[in-house]
Amino acid sequence: MLMHVLDVLMYAYLAGVLVVALRLIWHMVFKLDRYDWHYNKSYIWTIFILDVLLWPILLVKKPENLVDPSESFKQEIMGVVIDKPGQMRELDRLRKNPPPCGPIIRYRQGDSGYEEVYGEFLFSAEVLEARLVKRQQKDPAQTDDVEEAVLNWLRQRDNTLTDPTDVPDAWWKFQHVADDLVRKDNAVVGSRCMKCGKEVSFNELVRKDDRERPGWNFNRLACPENHNLLSVEVMHLLVRKSS
Ligand SMILES: [Zn+2]
């Protein structure tokens, strides 16, 4: 009798292995794309093996992942989703098919990754384009894909558009271009602090740059009320320099 029960359990487990493996393989073949495979290949195979072998645990803990495995393949580190394939997919999409762009560009950093920032900066697309070309000519080796894509986006602008055009979120590296431009008084059309709602003129910008601190160093610009408007990581020092 006991042997019979064990046999049944074994067949049930193996049947589960087969069903879960087929479901995951279907998802991997038809739902995951070249970005997933390029950036998450070993993670995908690890999840596949774990989910197939430990399907009874998955059935108890996250049964919805057996119906739709897309959640299983999302890489999470300490509760934070690390979506490298998604980021690269979006960057490629923006490069190949840039969104509409008008003569005025609006940049809001929002969250620097470390702290909330409240700046809203308006740039002239024409000045921005000229600055990027200048940066490129000065140091072609330092020009990255994002700057190249931003330049491509600016070049196909439609000057008849009246509303400011937001810099897409995926271009978070734009913060370096913004930091460079905001510090030059003729490059910005307007600056505003969204926390206190006030316009901030070039002369009112407060510079709070870190200077060779151990750890992360930031360039920071703030409004006269001390709200951060832009916060850009510039370097990471492991040890304090002896003076
Ligand atoms: Zn403010």
In DSSP notation, 108-160 reads ---B-SSSB--EEEEEEHHHHHHHHHHHHHH-GGG--HHHHHHHHHHHT--TT
User: 145-197: per-residue pLDDT in tens?
Assistant: 888 999 999 999 999 999 999 999 999 889 988 998 888 867 788 999 999 99
pLDDT (0 to 100) of residue 110? 84
Q: Are residues 56 and 120 in the same domain?
A: no
Q: How far is the CA of 53 from the centre of ligand 1 (A)?
A: 55
pLDDT (0 to 100) of residue 154? 96
How large is the ipTM?
A: 0.98
- Secondary structure E strands in the chain: 76-77, 80-81, 104-107, 119-124, 165-166, 188-193, 206-207, 215-222, 228-237
pLDDT (0 to 100) of residue 228? 94
pLDDT (0 to 100) of residue 143? 72
CA distance 32 to 44: 10
Q: Are residues 65 and 134 in the same domain?
A: no
Q: How far is the CA of 130 from the centre of ligand 1 (A)?
A: 30
> Please, which contacts does 208-212 make with residues 24 or more away whose CB atoms are closer than 8 Å?
209/234, 210/234, 212/237, 212/240, 212/241
Q: How far is the CA of 135 from the centre of ligand 1 (A)?
A: 30
pLDDT band at 76 (very low <50, low <70, confident <90, very high): confident
Q: Which domain holds residue 67?
A: 2-75
Q: Is residue 210 part of a domain?
A: yes
Q: How far is the CA of 108 from the centre of ligand 1 (A)?
A: 14
CB 122 within 8 A of CB 202: no
Q: How far is the CA of 217 from the centre of ligand 1 (A)?
A: 22
Residue 58 carries which side chain, given as an amino acid letter? L
CA distance 108 to 169: 9
Residue closest to 233 by CA, chosen among 217, 209, 210, 214: 217
Q: How far is the CA of 197 from the centre of ligand 1 (A)?
A: 7
pLDDT band at 241 (very low <50, low <70, confident <90, very high): very low
User: 79-88: per-residue pLDDT in tens?
Assistant: 778 889 999 9
- Choosing from 40, 75, 110, the residue where a domain stops is 75
Q: Are residues 68 and 104 in the same domain?
A: no
* Residues whose Cβ atom is located within 5 A of ion ligand 1: 193, 195-196, 223, 225, 227
- Secondary structure E strands in 22-81: 76-77, 80-81
Q: How far is the CA of 154 from the centre of ligand 1 (A)?
A: 29
Q: Is residue 27 part of a domain?
A: yes
pLDDT exceeds cutoff 70 at 242: no
CA distance 114 to 118: 13
Q: Picking from 39-53, 112-126, 151-165, which range would have the lowest pLDDT averaged per residue?
A: 112-126
Q: How far is the CA of 201 from the centre of ligand 1 (A)?
A: 12
Other C-beta atoms within 10 Å of 172: how many? 16
Q: How far is the CA of 125 from the centre of ligand 1 (A)?
A: 25
Q: Is residue 243 part of a domain?
A: no
Which whole number is the average pLDDT over 52-77?
Answer: 89
Q: Is residue 154 part of a domain?
A: yes
Q: Are residues 103 and 26 in the same domain?
A: no
CA distance 130 to 193: 26
pLDDT (0 to 100) of residue 112? 67
Which whole number is the average pLDDT over 123-137?
Answer: 90
Q: Are residues 38 and 137 in the same domain?
A: no
Q: pLDDT exceeding 90 applies to what percent of the chain?
A: 60
What's the structural domain count of the chain? 2
Q: Are residues 28 and 121 in the same domain?
A: no
Percentages helix, strand, coil for the chain, rounded to the nearest 5?
50, 20, 35
Q: Are residues 127 and 178 in the same domain?
A: yes
Q: Is residue 85 part of a domain?
A: no
Q: How far is the CA of 146 from the centre of ligand 1 (A)?
A: 29
Q: How far is the CA of 118 from the centre of ligand 1 (A)?
A: 7
pLDDT exceeds cutoff 50 at 60: yes
